[in-house]
């Protein structure tokens, strides 16, 4: 049974500005080391971080009725085939289906939360 759907979109420039202004303090407040490790600085650096941020926001929206979560309670990673998935640091009886995309100016994520049976 689906318990919630969340969508979020962020301008890449907003992520770039936050990182340039607050640096590692911002990154460590929002992301886990496990998330940051595979993201190498380069052409798509800000897009990838913005997409993960949008994914976290989408997950929060999708499960807001089930449990309040902080951004760092959600770990957004990729499977070997590149598909995104998330792990929740809080034990919930929920499966999250996640889709992420980004282009030069925007990143978008959609999350669907489903009760495990």
Predicted TM-score (pTM) of the model is 0.93
d(CA 46, CA 13): 8
What are the tens digits of pLDDT across the range 24-79? 999 999 999 999 998 887 789 999 999 999 999 999 999 987 678 899 999 999 99
pLDDT of residue 13: 97
Nearest of 73, 58, 70, 62 to residue 2 by alpha carbon: 62
User: Exposure of 106 by Cβ count < 10 A (0-12 exposed, 13-18 middle, 19+ buried)?
Assistant: middle
Residue 43's pLDDT is 81
Domains of the chain: 2-115 (3.90.470.20)
Query: Quick check: 21 pLDDT over 90?
Result: yes
């Amino acid at each position: 049974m689906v318990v919630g759907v969340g969508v979020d979109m962020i301008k890449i420039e907003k992520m770039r500005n936050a990182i340039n202004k607050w640096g590692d303090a911002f990154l460590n407040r929002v992301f886990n080391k496990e998330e940051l490790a595979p993201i190498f600085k380069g052409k798509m650096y800000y897009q990838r971080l913005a997409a993960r941020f949008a994914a976290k926001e989408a997950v929060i929206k999708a499960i807001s009725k089930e449990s309040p979560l902080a951004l760092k309670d959600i770990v957004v990673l990729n499977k070997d085939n590149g598909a995104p998935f998330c792990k929740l640091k809080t034990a919930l009886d929920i499966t999250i289906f996640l889709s992420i995309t980004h282009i030069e100016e925007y990143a978008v994520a959609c999350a669907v939360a489903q009760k495990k049976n």
